Structure 1
Amino acid sequence: MIRPVARPAAGAAVLVVLAQLALVAGPALVAYGIDNALPALREGRSGPLVLASGVYLVAALAGGWLGAATVRASARVSQTILLELRRRVFRHTQRLDLEFHERYTSGRIISRQTSDLDALRELLDGGLTTLASSVLAIAFTAIGLAVLDWRSGLLLVAAVVPGIVLTRWFQVRSQAQYRASRTSAARLVVQFVEAMTGIRAVQAFRREAQTEAAYDALAEEYRANSAEAIRVNGVFDTGLTLIANVTVAVVLLVGGLRVLDGGLEVGVLIGAVLYTRRFLAPLGQIGMFYNSFQSATAALEKVAALLAEEPTVPDPVRPVALPSVRGDLRFADVTFGYGGGPIVLPHLDLHVPAGQSVALVGRTGAGKSTVAKLLARFYDVRDGAVLLDGVDVREIAPGDLRRAVVMVTQEAYLFSGSIAANIAIGRPGATAAEVEAAARAVGVHELVAAMPDGYDTDVDKRGVRLSAGQRQLVSFARAFLADPAVLVLDEATSSLDVPGEAQVQRGLRTLLAGRTAVVIAHRLSTVMGSDRVLVVDDGRVLEDGSPDELVAAGGRFARLHEEWQRSLAAPA
């Protein structure tokens, strides 16, 4: 990720070096001014003092300008890297399959995109330039002091030893502490997101107190970890300040005695003291950099782990184009199980001719939705193949497959935006007339037209301005507009009331006409209009025939039909 910004990064590195060179010249110029320029001024020569003052002013201005330029250059580099990393995380997360998203909580994904990338931002924005500046400041200061007075340099070397020991202690302590802080922060975000996502269940079952207690416990854990990190920082900062002050006092004492003996000039002593104070300050900055580094390392491990996730439903290496699809479906000896779990579909053989509507019924967990997910290629089979017009869906170009097979689920998810925009997801670029025609086909036009802004009405986040049944009708209009060759309805009418269901049944007849349909439903009112019904149990087809044939056969479907008829006859 650094390679594309290598040239700007090299420019920032040059600016860092020049800035430190400009700043390190100050104490030497002060020493020159006191020991050489002031005596020359007494002799009536003002040139040396003007020269020393002018050079000092130029060095100070240059140091300030170069420091500001360093910040701007490093910010451009860091923001370019972070932008690409943020985009890469989002792109990769979208590429990952349904199996990943079902086991990787939304709170953890949000934490990767927010707090973890923020930790990297803190490191890249100022941490790296701070480290480079501090290391160069120490090196240049040591060289300057050695040139100015090597004996004072020896005292400084003696002071470095406890500084290094303290810095190492801080590194060890802060490493564990910052990892704990990152972990507790991520857990806090996950708890908050899950509580807010499931707020309806929390309030419905009066779980506010328990949820609050769980959140409070995680918040207290985060507070304790942060407080300990602050304590470690406090010990480190205080220790470095103590070492610096003691070192300055020793250099001043020893140097003062040498001045009295005539072995050292006053200007050199003042320069040595300034260099000494300047030498130890960067150790604290290096320690603070290590804080950012540990936090960013822990965050980067999590981001890298996310980016290392491989999709279990990869795009085909040599995709087969299917510009026109008839809709002939076949499950050829399909065996499937989720993840490394038990087999859900054992050796399923099924053929659905083009244009036929097939309903799958059975108890919960029988494998009906699994058939739908395999057909839409949300998962790949373990053995066998799912064929569309004789082509394995694993080999079909993803764009062609998504145009050919559209799945409408029970959730009926709506995005923030207008109703028209949500319907147009079925076919981006559709005209307003086409969107309205799709809405009319499924019977939702009157509902939309009665809203304050019509098709421009904002459904708000997750469609909360619409009822569950209304959201389902909008999702049907979206599917109608997509005009797929194969339509999969997975409990798509479960959210509808009786009037709404009757309305949708009329729309379904239009929607299903002339296309292959796989309908999964518990309501037999949706099933009875199908050409063919499959009774599924434990991933196996137990009964197969038209609705009337299966009712006459007296098997499981006949019993389900009888129970449905009794429910219709029962008084409200």
Structure 2
Amino acid sequence: MGMGPQRARDFKGTLRRLSERLLRERMLVWGLVLFGVLATSLSVVGPKVLGHATDIVFTGYLSDQFPDGATKAEVVAKLRAEGNDQLASLVGSVDLQPGSGIDFTSLSWVLGGVLVLYVLASLLQWFQGRITTVVVQHTVADLRNDVEAKLNRMPLSYFDRTERGEVLSRTTNDIDNIAQSFQQTMSQLLTSVLMVVGTLAMMIVISPLLALVAVVTIPLAFVITKAVTKRSQPQFVQQWTSTGRLNGHIEEVFTGHDVVKVFGRQKEAREEFDQRNDAVFAASFKAQFISGVVQPVMMFVANINYVLVAVIGGLRVASGSLSIGDVQAFIQYSRQFTQPLTQVAAMIQVLQSGVASAERVFALLDEDEERAGEVDAPFPDPVRGRVVFEDVSFSYQPDEPLIEHLDLVAEPGQTVAIVGPTGAGKTTLTNLVLRFYELDAGRITLDGVDIGRMDRGPLRRNFGVVLQDTWLFNGTIRENIAYGADNATEEQVLAASEAAFVDHFVRTLPDGYDTVIDDEGTNVSAGQRQLLTIARAFLADPSVLVLDEATSSVDTRTESLVQGAMEQLRAGRTSFVIAHRLSTIRDADHIVVMEDGHIVEQGTHDSLRAAGRAYERLYSAQFTASA
């Protein structure tokens, strides 16, 4: 892609925002911590109790080596008299009872206690894992809801400048990665921290000297982890950024696969795919390789620590300063102490990946939203449909003016046709009426109320829109038509279908209105898809209609039928009709001719033809070309 790795903008801030979301489940999080503390406490006590079992076995074995009836003091004195001071110190450090042998009753009680401890610890860990799953899934579900709500509040300009596949990647892949990352790390990180604290406390109790030896490796572990994290985090960000670009390309090519094949661009599409796929591979490989260095290095540090503890502990046992059971427990604790550090190092890469995805999701959530209108602004009731453009100026790019100082009045019940060459700004006018974009200057009023002060929901519910680009979702024909109104009855659906001349072709299908069409509508023709969207508009029964080349995909005979139906639909309603075929708007009450974002002519069909200017040139060009 020709781009270097992108650094995380705010790793700590993103992690903090995620933590704040997790803390919305405050009671469950406290339960998670409580079960973690209890499970770790029981696990930490286990090695100490096992060390006591080892002492029972070792003491029993030593006791069996000396004659019955002698006292411990006599055995120690005899060993010293024989010059065996090291063994004497060892015997003196244990609870020796000469000739008694191993106390299997005490041993069985100790081992039984250890079993109970570990069973309880396992149960508590199971509860901890269960709570972790609930917390993470609730948090991710809330995050998905927030993203869905955010997308509904985003301006149309965001989707114009952002690849659809990129948006899909953030709302699916990135959120799923957050869920997986925290599912794997949340409980384990808590357990690891508690294990480190608990084992360190037990090691200090057993032997401060050996505890100091074990602690010496901690700064080294932190230095290694910090260095690797600093290098790998930008690669994780690049990995998910590249994944979003790859998804954008795939979505674009698969959606337009017919065009790609018609123009023979499979090779170029494949090359673009390979380029973006290689970018994902490179970033993923670097991220995983760099972060993967941590665990083997941490294991090496842990092994050094293990050797030091074993050697020094052996010397302390030989000198009688520690029992062999304490040394055994300490060695186990040293493993428990370094193992969580190694696990944390291994989880760092998973956490980094999740935070990188979270950063992309939060970037979406932080995008500018549509400017809210004044919800308490007076809304016309009932809506008559008088729409007025007052000195309106608008541009998609600040340095490229499109519409400047435009004035236009659409009286209630009027049909206003907007015509002009491609790029004149016709569709832009309707987008402004629907508040898909905000004005740069001027205002648009509906029945005298500035639409910029209205809530978009009620405003758009009073508009019926039929676009040139049809949109159908994956569902039955009945469901697609009923999309135009809440709780539509079967009679209403059928009435709208008959009015839009849909009923005839639907009844020829094997399943009728229960025919399932996919989101691309490939099992119905382009003209039939457009008729379905027109039926949807009929059912909505709006106060104002916006028809953007609504009959461009139907045949001439059907177009004449739909025009008749449109006349019925437009009766008593204000209608904006964008048309290229001027024959379809001859009967419009008012025709507006636009060029380069300006209105150059207004009037009726006859008056504009008589004027012999822009409209006449368009009209003559069409019919001359047809002839």
Deviates more, 1:288-297 or 1:13-22: 288-297
Q: Percent identity?
A: 36
**Cα displacement (A) at 1:179:** 2.1
The SS at the match of 2:618 is helix
Equivalent runs, 1:218-367 vs 2, <5 Å: 218-367=276-425
Task: Note closer, same or farther for the CA distance 1:44–1:37 as it changes in structure 2 (3 Å cut).
Answer: closer
2:314 counterpart letter in structure 1: G
Structure 2: runs of 5+ lacking an equivalent:
1-20, 62-99
Deviations 1:384-436 (A, max 9, x none): 11111111112334343223222211112111111111111121222212111
Contact 2:295/2:346 (CA < 8 Å) preserved in 1? no
Counterpart of 1:524? Answer: 582
Counterpart of 1:436? Answer: 494
**Cα displacement (A) at 1:545:** 1.2
Q: Determine whether 1:95 maps to 2:153.
A: yes
Counterpart of 1:113? Answer: 171
Deviates more, 1:104-113 or 1:68-77: 104-113
Counterpart of 2:42? Answer: 22
Q: Determine whether 1:534 maps to 2:592.
A: yes
Task: Note closer, same or farther for the CA distance 1:179–1:4 as it changes in structure 2 (3 Å cut).
Answer: closer
Candidates 59, 63, 83, aligned match of 1:39: 59
Deviates more, 1:413-422 or 1:30-39: 30-39
Structure 2: how far apart are the matches of 1:322 and 1:398?
Answer: 14
Task: Note closer, same or farther for the CA distance 1:213–1:183 as it changes in structure 2 (3 Å cut).
Answer: same
**Cα displacement (A) at 1:341:** 4.4
Structure 2: how far apart are the matches of 1:313 and 1:202?
Answer: 38
Contact 2:385/2:446 (CA < 8 Å) preserved in 1? yes
**Cα displacement (A) at 1:233:** 4.0
**Cα displacement (A) at 1:330:** 0.9
TM-score (ref. length: structure 1): 0.95
Structure 1: how far apart are the matches of 2:510 and 2:583?
Answer: 33
Structure 2: how far apart are the matches of 1:505 and 1:232?
Answer: 66
Structure 1: how far apart are the matches of 2:538 and 2:269?
Answer: 41
Q: Which has the larger radius of gyration?
A: 2
The SS at the match of 1:377 is coil
Deviations 1:279-330 (A, max 9, x none): 1111121112322222222222221121112223424332323342111111
Counterpart of 2:79? Answer: none
Task: Note closer, same or farther for the CA distance 1:285–1:548 as it changes in structure 2 (3 Å cut).
Answer: same
Work out the number of aligned pairs and report it: 569
TM-score (ref. length: structure 2): 0.87
Q: Determine whether 1:8 maps to 2:28.
A: yes
Q: Determine whether 1:512 maps to 2:570.
A: yes
Structure 1: how far apart are the matches of 2:423 and 2:550?
Answer: 17
**Cα displacement (A) at 1:262:** 3.5
Counterpart of 2:521? Answer: 463
Candidates 172, 180, 202, aligned match of 2:238: 180
Contact 2:389/2:409 (CA < 8 Å) preserved in 1? yes
**Cα displacement (A) at 1:38:** 5.4
Contact 2:242/2:279 (CA < 8 Å) preserved in 1? yes
Equivalent runs, 1:393-432 vs 2, <5 Å: 393-432=451-490
Deviates more, 1:221-230 or 1:295-304: 221-230
The SS at the match of 1:461 is coil
Deviations 1:506-538 (A, max 9, x none): 222222222211111111121212122111112
Task: Note closer, same or farther for the CA distance 1:82–1:487 as it changes in structure 2 (3 Å cut).
Answer: same
Candidates 113, 116, 128, aligned match of 1:58: 116
**Cα displacement (A) at 1:539:** 2.1
Structure 2: how far apart are the matches of 1:278 and 1:248?
Answer: 11
Structure 1: runs of 5+ lacking an equivalent:
none
Task: Note closer, same or farther for the CA distance 1:100–1:287 as it changes in structure 2 (3 Å cut).
Answer: same
Deviates more, 1:166-175 or 1:104-113: 166-175
Equivalent runs, 1:207-218 vs 2, <5 Å: 207-218=265-276
Structure 2: how far apart are the matches of 1:219 and 1:561?
Answer: 50
Deviates more, 1:318-327 or 1:113-122: 318-327
Q: Determine whether 1:378 maps to 2:436.
A: yes
Contact 1:332/1:349 (CA < 8 Å) preserved in 2? yes
Counterpart of 1:483? Answer: 541
The SS at the match of 1:536 is strand
Structure 2: how far apart are the matches of 1:549 and 1:321?
Answer: 36
Deviations 1:532-565 (A, max 9, x none): 2111112222111110111122112112222233
Contact 1:23/1:63 (CA < 8 Å) preserved in 2? yes
Contact 2:55/2:324 (CA < 8 Å) preserved in 1? yes
CA RMSD of aligned residues (A): 2.0
Counterpart of 1:206? Answer: 264
